[in-house]
Structure 1
Amino acid sequence: MSLRTAIEQRYPHAGAQVPAMRERLIEITQAYLDAGQGDANAEQRLCSTDDFVYWQQLSEVLLGHQLGAAGIAYTHQPVGPDFLIEHEGRRIWVEVITPTPAGIPQSWLGPAGNGVRDFPHEQILLRWTAAIKQKAEVLLGNPTQQTTGYLGNGIVGADDCYVIAVNARLLRGFDGMFCELLGISQLPFAVEATLAVGPIQIRIDRDTLKSSEPEHQQRYVIHKPVGQPVPAYTFFDERFAPISAIWAADIDEGSVMDRPAPMLVVHNPQASSPLPLGLLPAQEEFSAGVIDEEHYRLERVDGRTAPLEELSIEVG
C-alpha cells in the first residue's frame, strides 16, 4: 500500500477541511521520508492500520514539522534518538514517544455523549511516568536487564542534551475533545511526573479550624491498585541528571493546517547538560529553583511560540 493510499483510507471524509488536511499531511509525510528523517520502516509504520503504530510514527513527523516551522534544523542519525539538533556547538538529542492508553477507562477514551465523565488523572499520569521511564532507559540502560543505553555506548555524549518528547494525543481518546497536558494539579502532567507536584490542598488546624491558603501537595509516588507505587520525582533523582528536559505536546493532524498545538517544556533542575531556555517550540516552559531542603519554586516563563503571563508558585 502506498503512503497516499494509506492516508486517504485513514482520512476518507470529504467535508470541512479534511481534504485539504489530507493533502497537506501527505505532502509533509512524504517530504519527511524523502529527506531520510525516519528509520527504515517509517513508511511502513505510517501505512499501518494499527492506530498505535501509526501514531508512534506520525508523532515524529509532526514534531519534526514543528521544529522545521520554528526554523530549527535537525537531522536523523542511522543510530540513536529520533532527532539531532546542533545548537551553538552543542548536540541536542530528542527521543519521541506517544504513550498508549493502557489502563485508561474506555468511558474517557470514547465519545463524550451528553453525560459527565470522571477525569482519570492518576491513570493518565501513570502513562506519563511509564513513557518517561521507558525513554530514560533507552538513554541510561537497564542494569537489571543488562542493557546498555545510548549514553553507555557513546551514541549520546556526556555533554549532550537529551530531551524526551511526549505526545499525549492518544491519552485523550479519538473524539479529540480535551487537550491532555494538564493534570489534577492544574499544572502539566510532565511537571507532576518529574517534580513531585500533587493536587491542590488546604490544611485545616484541628484546634482553631482555620484553613490555610491553597497549596500544592508534594507527591513523590503514585499508588497503583496493584503493584508497587510509581515514583514521580524523576528530576530530583540524580540518576536521571543526563535527561535535560521533557518536551510535552498534544499534537495531531490539525497542526499541519497551522492550528497551534499545545506544547511545553519542563526542565530538569539537576540536568548535567541543561537545555537552553526558549530553544524548542513551546508556548510555555517550567523550571524549578530550590528554596530550602523542603521547598522549591516552580517558575513558568514564556515559551518560544506563544508568550504567556508568567507564573511563580512555591511547592512544599
Structure 2
Amino acid sequence: MFQLRFFQTAHGGVRELAPRLAEAEADVQRLVEANMEALLGVRFLASEYGTGSVHAGRIDSLGLDANGTPVVIEYKRGTDSGVINQGLYYLSWLVDHRAEFEQLVRERLEATAAAQVFWSGPRLICVAGDYTRYDLHAMSEHRRSIDLVRYRLFGRDLIGLETVATAGGRPAQGRPERRTRPVRSGCERIAELAKAADEVLLGLGDGITKVQRKQYSAYRRLQNFASLCPPQRTKVHVYLSLDPGEVDLVPDFTRNVAGLGHHGTGDLEVRLRTERDLERAHDLFRASYAAA
C-alpha cells in the first residue's frame, strides 16, 4: 500500500491529491523511458526489444546503470504475479546474449561504455502498481539482482516511486557496532579508515547493494548513493549523489566535482583523513542514502 500522501497548497488551504494507477501499462512505460536516468539512475537503451524466434518475446526496456551493469525493466499497470518470472526469463536471455547487448550499448551510447559493461550481477527492475507477499517470497528465492518498485500517480503531473524490496546484493544489516581500533599510522591507518567508511555506508539501512568495480565500490539502493575509492596515501575519497549547490562546502573536506573527471559516481566529493572526518560525514551519507 502506497503510504506517501501529497497535498496541493492553494488560497491558504490544502487539497489532498489522491494516488491513482495509470490508465494503461504503456503509459507507465513511456513515462519511465522518457525520464529513466532521473527516475531509476539507468541510461535508456531500447524499448520493446525483441529476443528472437527462440525466446519469442519483447523486453519492455533495456538500460545500463551508473556502474555499467545491464538492466532489464518490466512494467505492470497494477499487480501481476508474473512480473518477476517474466523479468527473470528475459534476464536469462540477456546473460546469454552479451555480445548483442554490448553492440546495442555501442550503437546507442559509445564504444567506451560498451567496453566497460559490467556483467557481474545484471539487474531486473520491476515497476508495478503493487506486489503480493508471493512476489516478495519469490524474489527472496532467487540469486539475481532484483528491485521491486511501486509507482503511483498524483494529480496531473506528479509521480511517486517507492522501492518495495531489493535482492541480490549484500544481506540487509543493522548499523555496525562501534569498535575500538588500535592506533596505526600511515597507509595502515588510512586503510582502516576506508574499511570503517565501508561499514558505515553498508549500515545506513536495509536494501543496500554493494557493487565492486576495479576503481571504486558503489553503494546502491535503487540508484547509487555513494562511491568509495581505494584509499590514497593520506586520504579516502567518497563521492555522494547529492547536489553540491545545496550543501555548505567546507574547504579540504567537501568539494563540488560536477563536470570534473573522477572514478565512481556523484557530484559531491568528501575527503576523509581522520575518524573525526568520518563522523562529521555521517549526515551527508544519510542524506544521500535517503535520496537514492
Q: Same fold (TM over 0.5)?
A: no
TM-score by length of 2: 0.37
Higher-strand-fraction structure:
2
